Structure 1
Amino acid sequence: MKAKATHRQPNLFLEIFKGLGANKLTLALLVVILASSLSVVQVTHLARQQLIEQDKLLQERDELDLEWRYLLVEEEFYSQHARIEEVATMQLEMKRPTSQDEKVVILQ
């Protein structure tokens, strides 16, 4: 009984391939659909890689911007010393002592 039942049921994959072989246009369209779906997957993967790279570059830009700000603060700090020295020289008429102006005091 089972032998007759298996003969009645056609092999689905065999029937599909027979149908595709008989109709060349359908086979060509199937190949085009598969190729386009694979290209969509590839393009999506590349786009995600580009987004990851963009995020890394934006993070690096933020770190460099922060470092730049620290350098500006440091520059401002050192420029204040020069400003103090300029005010001392111009307004208070102060000057750096020379070797003749120095006195050595010896403690015993």
Structure 2
Amino acid sequence: MKPKVNHRQPTLFIEIIKGLAANKLTLILLAVILLSSLTVVQVTHLARQQLIEQDKLLQERDELDLEWRYLLVEEEFYSQHARIEEIATMQLDMKRPTSQDEQVIVLP
């Protein structure tokens, strides 16, 4: 006895395609769902990239702020020296010695 070959067994994929082709609204909704899901993935990716860029910019801002503070301290240091020199010159009538005013002392 020969076993029966069942040629009428439908495949699931073919039945799904037939069902989608029969109902155009379902096909359109499926396409919209796929498109929106791809859009969500793209938007999530772009948002993550922007967060990474924001973190880099915040770190750069912090580094620049630190450098700016160091420059303020340095400016304060040099401005105090210039102020002292100005007071010495104007109020105390002091001046830098010239080479004729210098005396060299040699120790044995």
Map 1:1-108 → 2, pairs under 5 A:
11-108=11-108
Return the TM-score normalized by structure 1.
Answer: 0.81
CA-CA distance at 1:18 after TM superposition = 1.3
> Equivalents in 2 of 1:65, 1:35: separation in Å?
44
Identity of aligned residues (%): 85
CA-CA distance at 1:100 after TM superposition = 2.4
> Equivalents in 2 of 1:33, 1:104: separation in Å?
93
> Equivalents in 2 of 1:104, 1:55: separation in Å?
61
> Equivalents in 2 of 1:107, 1:24: separation in Å?
109
Runs of 5+ unmatched residues, structure 1: none
| Equivalent residue letter for 2:20 | L
3-state DSSP of counterpart to 1:96: coil
Return the TM-score normalized by structure 2.
Answer: 0.81
> Equivalents in 1 of 2:57, 2:104: separation in Å?
60
Over the aligned positions, Cα root-mean-square deviation in angstroms equals 2.3
> Equivalents in 2 of 1:63, 1:96: separation in Å?
40
> Equivalents in 2 of 1:39, 1:76: separation in Å?
55
Give runs of ≥4 in structure 1 deviating > 6 Å.
6-9
> Equivalents in 2 of 1:42, 1:25: separation in Å?
26
| Equivalent residue letter for 2:58 | L
> Equivalents in 1 of 2:37, 2:87: separation in Å?
74
> Equivalents in 2 of 1:48, 1:56: separation in Å?
13
CA-CA distance at 1:9 after TM superposition = 7.3
| Equivalent residue letter for 1:13 | F
Deviates more, 1:39-48 or 1:23-32: 23-32
> Equivalents in 1 of 2:12, 2:104: separation in Å?
110
